[in-house]
Structure 1
Amino acid sequence: MLLDMNDKMVSATEECVGPMKLTQEPIQVLLVFAKEDSQSDAFWWACDRAGFRCNIARTPETAVECFLEKHHEIIVIDGRHSRYFEPEAVCRLIRATKPSENTVILAVLPQKAADQEEPSVLPLLCAGFSRRFVENSSVSACYNELIQIDHGEVRCQFKLRACNSAFTALEHCQEAVEITSEDHIIQYVNPAFERMMGYQKGELIGKELTELPKSDKNRADLLDTINTCIKKGKEWTGIYYARKKSGDSLQQHVRITPVIGQGG
């Protein structure tokens, strides 16, 4: 059995990742509860309040089927009543699917008596859960939990997917691209760079630029000029001679752009 919340109009939001402007569709939540009760109702109405789209699945099979169709950002699995299904098994079923790598899975656990020791979350994490929620049928409590997940893990995953898209574009770019840290450690080269310079990616990643052979065709002060420009946060464009793995010098029209983050 599968229930849908689709009668409320919700709008997309915009996020910026560097120069990229992205549109995030309304958050989709999947509730996996074998039986309707005050807890499932609380999450349902919390989704309604937050403007999230919501589905409810009653069995592990319908949960996986629904998830593969809609790719929910958040899944809430009832872990209070193991006689209906094993929550860890349901989580593993979902985690076995490719789309779940970007999904936050929340386990709803029963309340413990005051004299009982706090259980370890490690078994839940090993099963694939992202976090836990101790049962609380307050709509506000469920709403706060969902909003925190949205503003935390969900938005981070959304931005990470955007970064992966950018790297996919770099992988297919015909121009050679090299990314280094501020300490001049090579972090990434694209296939075009490998073809141009004759190196394999594994031969370059993690190495300092100073470890690579230099061409003697550059003027002596060129690297100092480039570094001074980059440290000022300015882009440098010009002719640079690089030495290929074969030892040949290659004239390049180079553009070096500093990427300024929160830490400078």
Structure 2
Amino acid sequence: MTPPAAPTHPSTPAIRTALSVNVNKVALVRNTRHLGIPSVARAAFQCLEAGAQGITVHPRPDGRHIRSSDVYELAELLQSWPEAEFNIEGNPTQNLMDFIRQVRPQQATFVPDSEDQFTSDHGWSFPQDAQRLRPLIAECRSLGVRVSLFMDPLPEQMAAAKAVGADRIELYTEPYAAAWGTPEQTAQLQRYTAAAQAALAAGLGINAGHDLNRDNLSAFVAAVPGLLEVSIGHAFIAEALELGYTDTVRAYQRCIDQGMQERKLLHP
């Protein structure tokens, strides 16, 4: 029996997936000394100059990497790049909302991290998180800030994310990255495709991030319909240590281009 055609967004083939570079790890290295190097702002500038479409930061309450001063410096830098987007991630019940109110970035990504969490490792859950998220999302939108919710690839959760007022969801991609090159790779990718289809059906935009890299990115871009943005930090900065920021941006853009070409074959 032929399976039913997957729902698609009318503009999916025409929209190129944007690259937002997460510069947290630049700050992490800088914070090991008191010399101000490497410069977070300089890293962001070079990435934007090389063609990145955005900069992402995740300022945690303990200041382990990105600091408040970095957020404000980057906001000032991005005023000279009106075509680029500033994405600030974090838990809106901790310190995120203060940055949103003062900086008003193009996008706020709500992540359900605890204050001492090592790294982001799960998405929001509904209906459990709906009540506390709804007024915070409404406040962001009243400030003209788009809201993306960090979500696990669960199709049944997407309509609920839309119902609380989110504009987009960011798919948490670590399970896909962990399965890359294993027998589970195809099944994991199908989970993300199904979640994206459900998000599109609910009227949500789709972002993705966490452990995406040059090996696994093209296949993800090709398979996940409506993918508007990927946020990449750890692998990007690790590769930039060897290649430099400019060549690393260009390498990731080639991965996106390859994925977009493959997507056209999958969704003509």
TM-score between the two structures when normalised by the length of structure 2: 0.31
RCO greater where, 1 or 2, for CA within 8 Å and sep 6 or more?
A: 2
In proportion to residue count, which structure has more helix? 2
